[in-house]
Structure 1
Amino acid sequence: MAWFRRRPAPGLRHDREAEKADFAHLEHFVQTRRGVEAFLEPRTTVTETTVILIAHDGEWTRRRVPDHNAARVFGNRLGIPVYDIALVGYPQRMRDFNERRKRAAGN
């Protein structure tokens, strides 16, 4: 029920904004993996806008970005496709990668 929803105190943030280190991490991921594609994730009540990069084998990483436009500029600069996750969904190779990691951790 909306009556019991807590509002954060003014000036108090549960999340932080994108930093240069976030873009540096994303760029390193693109440069060290094959077949990387970017997927934009919308802002939520918990996190700011994020971009998830997914390599050909399903390995992935996620970082904050200032907005969708910044992520598209980033993708264009590095020559990788940028998709809206709300339109295309998460690729199967990412789910397969997560499942392989889960099984490996259980052994």
Structure 2
Amino acid sequence: MAWWRRRRGPASPRGGADLSSARAHLADFVASRRGVEAYVEPATNITATTVVLIAHDGEWTRRALPSRPVAFEVARGLDVPVYDVNLTGYPARMREWTARQRRSKER
């Protein structure tokens, strides 16, 4: 039965999102915010390789990409600083922004 099958290799981007739409979304984020940095996240058994863009105020967005080399290439193409999240971790401003968003939704 289908639920016994295991997926081979890292997960693909959810919903079959194509590379061009991911690039367009990331480029729009960079163009509409200041102080943006890119963080490349590795693929896991559950998620594809992703790029997280974080603005100066901590606002962030994430998009799945086909592979680690493609993720670095896309991020470098945006002309923003690029980091490997395994080496640097996430900046505190990202966590602070997320916490502020949660608090505002609770009100």
> TM-score scaled by structure 1?
0.82
State the partner residue of 2:61. 61
Give the alignment's Cα RMSD to 1 decimal: 2.3
Show the 5 A alignment for 1:70-89. Answer: 70-89=70-89
> Residues 55-96 of structure 1: CA distance to partner in whole angstroms, max 9, x if unpaired?
000000000112222222222222101111111111100000
Show the 5 A alignment for 1:22-101. Answer: 22-101=22-101
State the partner residue of 1:8. 6
More displaced 10-residue stretch of structure 1: 15-24 or 29-38: 15-24
Aligned residue pairs, count: 101
Structure 1 portions without partners, runs of 5+? 1-5
Confirm or deny: 8 A CA contact 1:36 1:55 kept in the other structure. yes
What percentage of residue pairs aligned between the two structures are identical?
47
Confirm or deny: 8 A CA contact 1:58 1:97 kept in the other structure. yes
SS of the residue aligned with 1:62? strand
Change (3 A) 1:53 1:9: closer
- Give the whole-Å Cα distance in 1 for the aligned partners of 2:26 and 2:46: 21
Give 1 or 2 for the bigger CA radius of gyration: 1
- Give the whole-Å Cα distance in 2 for the aligned partners of 1:82 and 1:37: 6
SS of the residue aligned with 1:103? helix
Confirm or deny: 8 A CA contact 1:41 1:84 kept in the other structure. yes
SS of the residue aligned with 1:96? helix
> TM-score scaled by structure 2?
0.82
Structure 2 portions without partners, runs of 5+? none
